[in-house]
């Protein structure tokens, strides 16, 4: 039976969910794997829910991850991690940015933000890795670096080479100048470090 790695990337619009999934896919291609990806972006430009499935292996026939079969979840927002946790298998690693960002449906009062989503996540049979990627990005100088921080964080949990993943990330910024490259490199390394020393 061929081994396929299933990665679920979740968050809300503007957090870089689809870009992160693109970079993981590109890294898997660079590492020689067959890759399939699909995504749902509901009102992404207005903070709506964004989800992407990435699957790679020697031969992948479908882009969709069957509920309960994700090997790794990269969650840019705690409540979105909680919403999708039933999509991961028992023992899967769930990497969560603990910096909350309520979607507009919560901000306008249509829905309540879940109470302590990280504690609710901890009740599931998963390997929860929880750290504040938002604050790491802010301290590095730009909140938009969350994407690179999160990619660095999952580097140690993928069968892909960490260097290939970083190469795929930095290739996005090769025309943006040395300063942007250095910032994203630093964010990637900060994410790697944070994922090994999580705060729970």
Domains annotated for the chain, with CATH where assigned, are 5-100+117-196 (3.40.920.10)
Pairing of β 49-57 and β 4-12: antiparallel
Euclidean distance between CA atoms 6 and 64, whole angstroms: 9
Q: What is the pLDDT along the chain (200 residues), one digit of tens a residue?
A: 468 999 999 998 878 889 999 999 999 999 999 999 998 776 555 557 789 999 999 999 999 999 999 999 999 999 999 999 999 999 999 999 998 887 777 777 777 888 889 899 999 999 999 999 999 999 999 988 999 999 999 998 898 999 999 999 999 988 888 999 999 999 999 999 988 764 54
Whether 10 contacts 77, CB under 8 Å: yes
Which two three-digit tokens encode residue 138? 């802010």
First to last CA, the chain: 37
């Amino acid at each position: 039976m061929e081994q396929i790695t299933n990665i679920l990337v979740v968050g809300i619009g503007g957090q870089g969910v689809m870009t992160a999934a693109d970079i993981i896919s590109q890294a898997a291609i660079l590492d020689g794997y067959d890759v399939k990806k699909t995504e749902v972006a509901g009102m992404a430009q207005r903070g709506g829910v964004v989800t992407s499935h990435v699957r790679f292996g020697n031969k992948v026939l479908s882009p969709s991850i069957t509920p309960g079969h994700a090997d790794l979840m990269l969650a840019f927002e705690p409540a979105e991690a909680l919403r999708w946790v039933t999509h991961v298998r028992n023992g899967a690693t769930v990497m969560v940015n603990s910096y909350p960002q309520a979607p507009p449906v919560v901000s306008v009062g249509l829905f309540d933000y879940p109470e302590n989503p990280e504690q609710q996540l901890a009740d599931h049979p998963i390997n929860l890795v929880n750290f504040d990627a938002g604050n790491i990005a802010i301290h590095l100088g730009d909140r938009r670096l969350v994407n690179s921080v999160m990619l660095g964080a999952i580097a140690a949990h993928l069968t892909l080479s960490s260097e290939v993943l970083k190469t795929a990330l930095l290739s996005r910024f090769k025309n943006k100048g040395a300063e942007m490259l250095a910032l994203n490199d630093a964010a990637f390394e900060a994410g790697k470090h944070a994922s090994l020393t999580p705060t729970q």
